[in-house]
Amino acid sequence: MGPSISHRVSIAWPPSPPSEPTSTLVLTSPLGRFVDLRLTKDKPPSLSWAFYGVAHYWTDCKSRNHGSWSHEVDSRIIALNLEPEPEAEDDTGILKSLENGDELEVGSMKDDSGVVREYEEVWRAEEPNPRVWKVWKFNHVADDAFNQGMMIRLGRWAQGIVRRGKILTSVRAQLVDMSGSEEPDDVVWRIEFIGGDKYVAEEMMSVLTETYRSDESVGSQGDVPPGVWALIESSDVTV
């Protein structure tokens, strides 16, 4: 599986017609790691839903293509503020290519009210094969599920989600340049969205711009837990 940059075109909850109330972007690495960030279309936007995990794809005996997406961190689960915290359920769907090149995903999941319903989502790939990709994960020294994060860069897009206790921070950024290439001499990461803790967001951007020192533990001060960001997948090397 190659890397993919997917914009959601629409979602429908039959029998209601399709619509797109959000700006939804999913970045998926060649090994299936993904960050899914869904923002409202307000100005400025706010977070509708954010989660990351690992995607798996397979074909059944009837030649139907399936996908499942785990939720290692899920903003809606955190927002429930329950003790003990419930585990997020995997999303599953059947995938079908449409004539215009878009992809139709059909399955069932909870709607905004928490009711499980059938849905239909249409996705559009921005770049079939981005040449540049990198995936970083924040690893807590005690492998604490309440303190973890992932940052993905695919081509000109980057998204990240970090959980620190009950606070979730999310970032979306776009690489802006004058030449149109992915790696020009003079580039700027334009922040499209930041939600949550601004200091954690600054840390995430330092990881993206590779000014973060990976040989230092994060969180020696304040409430940030000890741990490090590690590059775990890239177009140059996979570790």
pLDDT 10s digits, 124-151:
999 777 889 999 999 877 767 789 999 9
From residue 34, give the alpha-carbon distance in Å to each of 31, 134, 226, 228.
9, 11, 24, 20
Superfamily for 4-125?
Answer: Protein HRI1, N-terminal domain (2.40.128.320)
Residue 152 has pLDDT above 70, yes or no: yes
Domain boundaries, the chain: 4-125, 133-234
Helix (H, G, I), strand (E, B) or coil at 4: strand
pLDDT for res 116: 86
Confidence of residue 4 (pLDDT cuts 50, 70, 90): very high
Residue 223, Cβ density class (10 Å: 0-12 exposed, 13-18 middle, ≥19 buried)? exposed
Q: Which CATH class is domain 133-234?
A: mainly beta
pLDDT tens readout for residues 27-56: 999 999 999 999 999 999 999 999 999 999
Instruction: Please report which confidence band the pLDDT of residue 217 belongs to, taking 50, 70 and 90 as the band edges.
Output: very low
**Confidence at residue 58, expressed as pLDDT on a 0 to 100 scale:** 94
Domains 4-125 and 133-234 share a fold: yes
Rounded mean pLDDT, 209-214: 66
Handedness of CA 66, 108, 54, 235 (dihedral sign): positive
